[in-house]
């Protein structure tokens, strides 16, 4: 069903955007090789010639609503943006919002520090459903730039999540644990890898510290429990204390 959804989305987007369509790509877990058919989001990017018009936005909003009805399992897990090709060359997060689909919500949303991380994955691992190579559209992102963006995301988002009610959700705890593993790997090597690879490296690096927590996060599924709020908070706190030296933006 996933292939059918992606096929339908590609052709529907092309039909609605006509000359404004440049390409459609996959990133995130699908591109990095750690996609979970039960839980993972389907991360995508549509590159356009220019910013969507209000009419195009409305047409795509209705189209994604139909996709969710036709593909109830995967349709609600689509997450992606519609970005003009010139915006992809911007080093810093753009100051203006872009059309963004997150499950059932299609809105105009601003980018944060994930801008650099997403572009890195797209350029280095992105899957082309149709369009030119993203190497032609996204300038090379150096390791130092990637590390700075990772620290910014860690210190300006994850640090504040330690006491957030959102962390009480089992699925989000798993996401947080594996994200911390990837953060540690990225800040060591200056590259982004799959969460299982980052988790395996982290377990060796930390010895017994948080090892069982990481093991359980790796095998978790929606039919099992994951009641590790306190341990997850401690893991986030461990990573943020290691790299977030002050409360000021980096």
The one-digit pLDDT tens for each residue of the chain (250 residues) are 899 999 999 999 999 999 999 999 999 999 999 898 888 899 999 999 999 999 999 999 999 999 999 999 899 999 999 999 999 999 999 988 999 999 899 999 999 889 999 999 999 999 999 999 999 999 999 999 999 999 999 999 999 999 999 999 999 999 999 999 999 999 999 999 999 999 999 999 887 889 999 999 999 988 888 999 999 999 999 999 999 975 443 3
**191 domain residue, yes or no:** yes
- Stated pTM of the model: 0.91
- The enclosing domain of 112 has a CATH number of 3.30.460.10
- Asked if 48 contacts 84 with a C-beta cutoff of 8 angstroms, the reply is yes
Q: Are residues 6 and 125 in the same domain?
A: yes
Tell which of 136, 162, 187 closes a domain. Answer: 136
Tell which of 86, 108, 136 closes a domain. Answer: 136
For 131, the domain range is 2-136
Domain count, the chain: 2
Q: Are residues 166 and 106 in the same domain?
A: no
Q: Are residues 125 and 14 in the same domain?
A: yes
Tell which of 77, 110, 136 closes a domain. Answer: 136
Q: Are residues 184 and 80 in the same domain?
A: no
User: What's the confidence (pLDDT) of residue 38?
Assistant: 84
Q: Are residues 104 and 195 in the same domain?
A: no
Q: What are phi and psi of 215, to 5 degrees?
A: -60, -45
Alpha-carbon distance values, 249 to 43, 108, 138, 186 (Å): 28, 25, 26, 19
Residue 25 host element (H or E) = strand 21-26
Q: Are residues 24 and 76 in the same domain?
A: yes
User: What's the confidence (pLDDT) of residue 246?
Assistant: 54
User: What's the confidence (pLDDT) of residue 250?
Assistant: 37
Task: For residue 26, list its beta bridge partners.
Answer: 44, 127
**249 domain residue, yes or no:** no
Q: Are residues 172 and 216 in the same domain?
A: yes
């Amino acid at each position: 069903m996933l292939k059918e959804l992606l096929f339908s989305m590609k052709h529907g987007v092309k039909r609605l955007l006509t000359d404004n369509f440049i390409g459609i790509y996959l990133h995130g877990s699908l591109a990095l090789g750690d996609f979970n058919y039960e839980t993972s989001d389907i991360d995508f990017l549509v590159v356009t010639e220019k910013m969507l018009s209000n009419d195009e936005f409305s047409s795509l909003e209705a189209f994604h609503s139909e996709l969710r009805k036709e593909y109830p399992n995967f349709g609600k897990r689509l997450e992606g943006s519609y970005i003009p090709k010139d915006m992809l060359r911007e080093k810093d997060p753009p100051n203006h919002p872009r059309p963004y689909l997150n499950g059932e919500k299609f809105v105009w949303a601003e980018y944060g520090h994930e801008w650099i991380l997403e572009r890195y994955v797209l350029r280095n691992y992105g899957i082309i459903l149709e369009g030119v190579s993203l190497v032609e559209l996204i300038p090379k992102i150096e390791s130092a730039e990637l590390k700075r963006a990772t620290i910014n995301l860690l210190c300006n988002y994850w640090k504040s999540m330690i006491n957030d009610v959102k962390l009480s959700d089992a699925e989000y705890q798993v996401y947080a644990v594996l994200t911390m593993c990837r953060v540690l790997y990225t800040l060591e090597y200056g590259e982004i890898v799959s969460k299982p690879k980052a988790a395996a490296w982290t377990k060796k690096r930390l010895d017994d510290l948080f090892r069982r927590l990481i093991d359980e996060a790796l095998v978790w599924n929606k039919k099992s429990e994951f009641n590790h709020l306190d341990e997850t908070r401690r893991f986030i706190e461990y990573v943020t204390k290691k790299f977030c030296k002050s409360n000021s933006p980096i």
